[in-house]
Amino acid sequence: MKKVVFNSEIFREGDVYVALCPELDVSSFGDTIEGAKASLKEAVEAFIEECETMGTLDEILEEAGFRKELEPSEVWVPREPLSEEKMAIYPHQDQYDNCRYE
């Protein structure tokens, strides 16, 4: 199997922790943060194995923004953002400008 480096994000939803690989849109969960991470690794591994079986792994990784590095051995790495920030919008704000809230 090829080595694939991926990002993970952990969220708490109710009584469980949810782990997400945003680039591949693969997620899993666990009762603890470590459990969620381990479960995510298994889910990503299963996803990658299935893509390899179907012969689509390189295409899927490229479309997800990964790049292949060949030195010292083949490894796929996710794109690195130049900037990250949280942003907000108010969709269709003009529709509510004349509304009265009572």
pLDDT score recorded for residue 2:
77
Indicate whether 12 belongs to any domain: yes
Tens digits of per-residue pLDDT, 49-68? 999 999 999 999 999 999 99
- Domains: count for the chain: 1
Indicate whether 60 belongs to any domain: yes
pTM, two decimal places: 0.80
Indicate whether 102 belongs to any domain: no
Indicate whether 101 belongs to any domain: no
Q: Which residues form the domain of 42?
A: 3-95
Indicate whether 23 belongs to any domain: yes
Tens digits of per-residue pLDDT, 3-51? 999 999 999 999 999 999 999 999 999 999 999 999 999 999 999 999 9
The three-state (H, E, C) secondary structure of 5-25, written as one string: CCCCEEEEECCEEEEEECCCC
Indicate whether 38 belongs to any domain: yes
pLDDT score recorded for residue 91:
84
**Pair 24, 8: CB distance under 8 Å:** no
80 or 98, greater pLDDT: 80
> 64: which residues sit within 8 A by CB, 6+ positions away?
23, 24, 78
Distance of CA 95 to the CA centre of its chain: 34
